[in-house]
Structure 1
Amino acid sequence: MKRRIRGIKNRPRLCVFRSNKHIYAQIIDDSNNQIIASSSTLTQIMKQNMKLSNNCDAARSIGKNIAQKSKALGIREIVFDRQNKIYHGRIQALAEAVRKEGIKF
């Protein structure tokens, strides 16, 4: 049986979704069912700064962006949810960028 990953108020969930062309990251408070912050390769600011949206460099910039947004909201610890994707490639690049910004998980 699969356990469900849940975030709490003082430690929300960082949910990462990867498609073939884009990568999305959301910080979710599961106790209130609210998305606190989000970032993706589809946002206008991110589109201007990157040439390709489906490589590790794009994932690193999304990770850095979501970490900066969470630090601005006072979030220092999160629960990482990779949605059954293996911890490799773009998922790993995003996670390492978030850790490098000082967010713990």
Structure 2
Amino acid sequence: MDSKQARLRRAKKTRAKISELNMPRLCVNRTPRHIYVQLIAADGATVIASSSTVQAEVKSGVKYSGNKAAAEVVGKAIAEKAKAAGVTKVAFDRSGFKYHGRVQVLADAARANGLEF
């Protein structure tokens, strides 16, 4: 089993638990160059809000899109969009990635700006 398959196995297990909770989930995906986050409704079919380092308003605020500073800006942006959509409580779906580095910084920034998970 390679590392990608192991990550996807962990993600599948996490998503099964989150579906039992029946609440919106904050789904994170990261690549070496960018970080993406979506707020997905409890039904799993509707994207309520999204933010990433490829969006113009986020890209203009960061020097490089693949570091912790960029993840912090994305976390703040998704928290603001979620509050505007009326969502304050979410389940954090880290997609099998370790809760470390950019994923942790994004989660902390989202919490600091009003999301609860």
State whether TM-score is above 0.5.
Answer: yes
| 1:74 pairs with one of 86, 89, 95 | 86
Give SS of 1:17's match.
Answer: strand
CA RMSD of aligned residues (A): 1.6
Give SS of 2:100's match.
Answer: coil
| 1:38 pairs with one of 24, 34, 50 | 50
- Distance (Å, rounded) in 1 between the aligned partners of 2:113 and 2:26: 14
Flag the structure with higher helix content: 2
How many equivalent residue pairs?
103
Aligned position for 1:95 = 107
Deviation at 1:46, TM superposition (A): 1.1
TM-score normalised over the length of structure 2: 0.82
Instruction: Specify the structure having the higher radius of gyration (Cα).
Output: 2
Q: List alignment gaps of at least 5 residues for structure 1.
A: none
Give SS of 1:53's match.
Answer: coil
Aligned position for 1:64 = 76
Deviation at 1:56, TM superposition (A): 0.4
TM-score normalised over the length of structure 1: 0.91
Query: More displaced, 67-76 or 30-39?
Result: 30-39
Give SS of 2:60's match.
Answer: helix
